[in-house]
Amino acid sequence: MGLPRATALVFGLLLAAAAHAQPVFPSRPVTLVLPSAPGDPTDLIARVLQPKMSERLGQQFVVENRPGGSAVIASSAVAKAPADGHTLLLALSAHSINPIALKELPYDTFRDFAPVTLLARFALIVGANSGAKGSDLREFVAAAKGRGNVNFASPGAGTLSFLVGEEISRRSGLEAVHLAFKGGAPAVQAMLANQAQYGALPLNLLRAHFASGKLKPLAVTSPQRSSQLPGVPTVAESGFPGFEAYNWVGVFAPAATPPAAVEKLNREFAAALHEPDVLQKLGAVGFEIVGSTPQELDRFVRREFEHWDRFVREYNVKFD
């Protein structure tokens, strides 16, 4: 009886020692790197979640803005960071578009990141100068095809706004010319000046101009109408069957991040997202909360890539 009891005691001590040796996560501040500038819609979601995640993780949750380079700067920094879960990427739609739009990337979109969660998504609003003919996208396209010399504005080639504008132009035969700007605000100014006749942009950039009557909403890019603009039809309703496009916000860690760290991050992000004040603040600006599993995020990003890659190839879309 003595030997088995001693063996059991030693085994128990070894298990306790092994458990004690497992690093506690997080053991220091966690940094969320953003490819967007302060004040952008995606910056807002990070700022709303920041205090919640600090509280839930028991460590400071730092938001670091590293805009520029079509999100490549931020993505590259996280891909090269230690794979311990303490450095995260807040990825946007560009994450699935860049492998199509850019000839070379300093990382592999599908191999160098570990998906954590799809936080949220939001539709774009196709808007136009109030002087343009047509009360919705169908009427606008019909009138614009007759006048020619149509331009559309976007925050830059390779953005979702660019691809939505191109898809509307290509599928309708509008033959609109793309005007690329450095950010959403200059694109809005081009629409206000009627330099660009339409553009697909986030609601927060257009809302005040819709209210003032200087711009008008033509369509929303989601498959269902927006609760914030219930009278505005979808693009799919407006002569583009099957059309659907969302800007999305997801969290990734460097590849090889321990599964336990990914699981904890996924769990805490999901809990923070569904706190009542977070739901209220993000819902007020048009975010649709998701809170996916890592596997669901991986499948989603691959589907987005395949969809836009197919469109770009079919219509021979150029990004320069």
Domain definitions of the chain by residue range: 29-122+246-315, 125-238
* Cα dihedral 50, 90, 274, 232 sign: positive
* CATH 3.40.190.10, applies to 125-238: yes
pLDDT of residue 1: 43
Q: Is the pLDDT of residue 76 over 90?
A: yes
pLDDT of residue 147: 80
Q: Is the pLDDT of residue 296 over 90?
A: yes
Can you tell me the mean pLDDT for 254-270? 98
pTM of this structure: 0.88
Can you tell me the mean pLDDT for 238-264? 97
* CATH 3.90.550.10, applies to 29-122+246-315: no
φ/ψ region of 226 (left if φ > 0, alpha if ψ in -120 to 50, else beta) reads beta
Confidence of residue 9 (pLDDT cuts 50, 70, 90): low
List strands edge to edge, sheet with 177-180: 177-180, 151-154, 198-201, 125-129, 215-220
